[in-house]
Amino acid sequence: MDSDNVPDHGLNRKLLEVLQNDSFRQFLGAEIVEVREGYAKVEGVVKEEYTNFHGTAHGSYIAALADFALGIAANSDNVKRFAVTIKIDFLRPAFPGEKLTAKAFRTGGGRNLAFFEINVLRGDELVARGDAIVYGKERIVDSH
């Protein structure tokens, strides 16, 4: 994506460009919907190739969508963070063609460690939920 066309979600421009051009994000078909400090919302549609032998969304697709939202939320205050632990509970199946929304939000922490909750929804219905711990301390330098 051309950097002039990157939507402003309140994120550091350099980070937004990296996320928009991320090949794994493109593989997931994930779109960044909303970002504010400590929060991110992304959406993705379950494709046939993301299903398991039961014909439902593979858990790894749901977890990857959750992790993508977490990565954005965890870095939204311009501190470079990475996941130390992610725990996902799968509550309901999702099917090809369904749009899933992953929301990650900070629930606590301190300077270097932060705690997040992640919810993956189909409309208003909770499909999966999780908790994560992230670590970081280095600032992300903006490109302008």
**Phi, psi (5° rounding) for residue 80?**
-75, 110
Question: Regarding the domain with residue range 8-139, which homologous superfamily does it belong to in the CATH classification?
Answer: Hotdog Thioesterase (3.10.129.10)
Q: What angle do CA 125, 61, 12 make, to 5 degrees?
A: 90
Domains of the chain: which residue ranges? 8-139
Is the model's pLDDT at 33 over the cut of 80?
A: yes
Q: Judge whether 50 and 57 are in contact, CB under 8 Å.
A: yes
DSSP 109-127: E-SSEEEEEEEEEETTEEE
pLDDT tens-digit series, residues 67-90: 999 999 998 888 889 999 999 999
CA distances from residue 54 to 49, 86, 123 in whole angstroms, order as listed:
12, 25, 22
Q: What is the pTM of this model?
A: 0.86
Residue listed under structure tokens 């350099």? 14
pLDDT tens-digit series, residues 91-135: 999 999 999 999 999 999 988 999 999 999 999 999 999 999 999
Q: What is the DSSP letter of 54?
A: T
Residue-wise over 28-60: b if at least 16 C-beta within 10 A, else e? bebebeebeebbbbbbbebeeebbeeeebbbee
Residue listed under structure tokens 């939000």? 105
Give mean pLDDT, residues 30-45: 93
CA gap 44, 96 in Å, rounded: 11
